[in-house]
Chains A and B, each alone.
Chain A
């Protein structure tokens, strides 16, 4: 198993719990996992980064060999994985759950050095804290500029939850400030719900600029914190660039990413369509209707674990159904959700017709409060099942 996030760590544990005779090694470069869900609340000062951190002691205690090393090579013919210390591991089946990497070649002017001034904060950790500190240091009346990428990317509602919670911070602490969200698309997840909530909670504070209104960022200038678009430019006091993404580098090492940068898989077993014997789960895959979320990764991990055990025991994996549910916070006590049910069709995970959808637009305040409570409960349950 390569990658120890919501997909990988889960899948490793489930394979082991389904069949204790299978030796499972989890290779994860970092000894502490910092969860992205709820990290927008850290940016807005509503939560501490420590609450996002998880270790691998319980994964180890479940009988899994956890190795904190980087992968330097994958030989899918010999079925071996090479680590940075030169050690080589042999496998019968490999599962890759690499997550995403940010594309520092996509927006001219936005590279790793630029991210130190205009944080992406799209991988939780120091970047999350950097954006928070910049917001804290900003004067009242300042302008926050964010940019969101075109699809596909990790956590489709994430930029809009972030804009909401930053707006909450501004409204509370710096009420004369403003947030401009430049978008490389014309529609986004839970759009009507977000827009209605912005109107209600943060009137005049958030300005969303769609692709067709000039939202596509063509260049950034870090020294002046300027976002250049096709229609003009915006100077930020605090800037947050969420750049385009692709499957993280180890996917390319394993030969499971295609020319799009993402990984095509069989939707029944999550086996790569490019490399037999290698499975891919989580944000890195081309999942059809299923969004790139921690919940999706975890659902896929559960199905993939059973499929891997089945294939190792020469059984045929069964056709699965998977669920995704994503909560977003628009304010600390205001939650909204999107849900979907998916099944394999035409080589992808496809929405089951008639199922899923978003929270009702006309729901009373009590439902928003309830969904914010469920959001926290979900985080607690899922992190406990993966790391606890």
Chain B
């Protein structure tokens, strides 16, 4: 019991006064200007329909121009590999929630 209490206190200490933002990765929030997470059947694909790997591959292809696009090629150029991966992982986690 005592050990459990300690664990709880420790966990609380880590979470509560933590100074790190709860923000999504840079850029991720803006995706939802056009995309939904849940599949809704519109012409713009839902982010929840991709795995993180698929999203990374698509964004890299948009950025390099190897995959044609209307607007995603222009947007993908604003993100590094690390940023793309962080966004893809974040959406993959949201989907699984």
A370, B36: Cα distance in complex, Å: 18
User: Considering the chains assembled together, what is the distance between the CA atoms of A356 and B26 in angstroms?
Assistant: 16
B21: A residues at CB distance < 8 A: 306-307, 310, 315-318
Interchain CB contact under 8 A, B30 and A302? yes
The stretch from A75-83, A107-115, A377-385 touching chain B is A377-385
Cβ contact within 8 Å between B34 and A374: yes
A220 within 8 A of partner (CB): no
Residue of B with least CB distance to A354: B77
List of A residues within 8 angstroms of B30 by Cβ = 299, 302, 321-324
Does any Cβ of B come within 8 Å of A352's Cβ? yes
List B30-73 residues whose CB lies under 8 Å from chain A. Answer: 30-36, 40, 42-44, 70-71
Assuming the contacts A315-B21, A322-B27, A355-B75, asked whether A381 and B44 have C-beta atoms less than 8 A apart, the reply is: yes
Are A323 and B33 in touch, CB under 8 angstroms?
yes
Asked if B13 is an interface residue, CB under 8 A from chain A, the answer is no
Residues of A within 8 A of B31 (CB): 323
* Residue pair A18, B83 in contact (C-beta under 8 Å): no
Interface check A189, CB cutoff 8 A: no
Nearest chain A CB to B15 CB, angstrom units: 10
Chain A: minimal CB distance from B5 (Å)? 24
Docked Cα-Cα span, A315 to B34, in Å, equals 29
Q: Which residues of A contact B76 (CB under 8 A)?
A: 355
Within the complex, the shortest CB–CB distance from A332 to chain B, in Å, comes to 16
Chain A residues with a Cβ closer than 8 Å to the other chain, count = 45
Contact A316 B42 (CB under 8 A): no
CB closest chain-A residue, reference B44: A377
Looking across the interface, which residue of chain A has its beta carbon closest to that of B42? Answer: A377
Report yes or no: A382 in contact with B33, Cβ–Cβ below 8 A. Answer: yes
| B6-32 interface (Cβ within 8 A of A) | 17-24, 26-27, 29-32
Who on chain A is nearest to B83 by CB? A321
Residues A361-388 near B (CB distance < 8 A): 367, 370-371, 373-374, 377-378, 380-382, 385
Q: Which of B32, B42, B77, B78 contacts A385 (CB 8 A)?
A: B32
* Main secondary structure on B side of the interface with A: loop
Contact with B along A246-277 (1 / 0, CB 8 A): 00000000000000000000000000000000
CA distance A30 to B72 in the complex (A): 36
* Partner of B33 from A295, A307, A356 at Cβ < 8 Å: A295
Q: Tell me whether A66 is interfacial, beta carbon within 8 Å.
A: no
Complex-state Cα separation, A354 to B79, whole angstroms? 10
Chain A proximity of B33: nearest CB distance (Å): 5
- A22 CB, nearest partner CB in chain B, Å: 12
Contact B75 A341 (CB under 8 A): yes
Residues 321-375 (chain A) with a chain B CB within 8 angstroms: 321-325, 337, 339-341, 343, 352, 354-357, 359, 367, 370-371, 373-374
Closest chain-B Cβ to A383's Cβ sits at a distance in Å of 12
Residues of chain A with a CB closer than 8 A to B71's CB: 325, 337, 339, 359, 371, 374
Does A319 belong to the interface (CB within 8 Å)? yes
CB distance from B14 to the nearest CB of A (A): 13
Across-interface contacts of B27 in A (CB, < 8 A):
320-323, 341
Q: Cα distance A323–B22 when bound, in Å?
A: 19
A315 adjacent to B79 (CB under 8 Å): no
Q: Does B95 contact A (CB under 8 A)?
A: no
- B93 adjacent to chain A (CB < 8 Å): no
On chain B, the residues within 8 Å of A298 by CB distance are: 33
- Report if A316-B29 is in contact (Cβ < 8 Å); known contacts: A355-B77, A377-B42: no
Q: Given A337-B70, A356-B77, A371-B70, is A309 in contact with B34 using a C-beta cutoff of 8 Å?
A: no
| A381 lies within 8 A of B42 (CB) | yes
* Chain B residue nearest to A357 in the complex (CB): B74
Residue contact B33 to A315, C-beta cutoff 8 Å? no
List the interface of chain B (C-beta within 8 A of A): 17-24, 26-27, 29-36, 40, 42-44, 70-71, 74-79, 83
List A residues at the B interface (Cβ < 8 Å): 18, 295, 298-299, 302-303, 306-307, 309-310, 313-325, 337, 339-341, 343, 352, 354-357, 359, 367, 370-371, 373-374, 377-378, 380-382, 385
Query: Nearest 6 CB-CB pairs, A to B?
Result: A341-B78, A355-B78, A323-B30, A302-B29, A318-B21, A321-B26
5 example contacts (A-B, Cβ-Cβ < 8 A) are as follows A303-B29, A322-B27, A356-B77, A374-B34, A385-B36
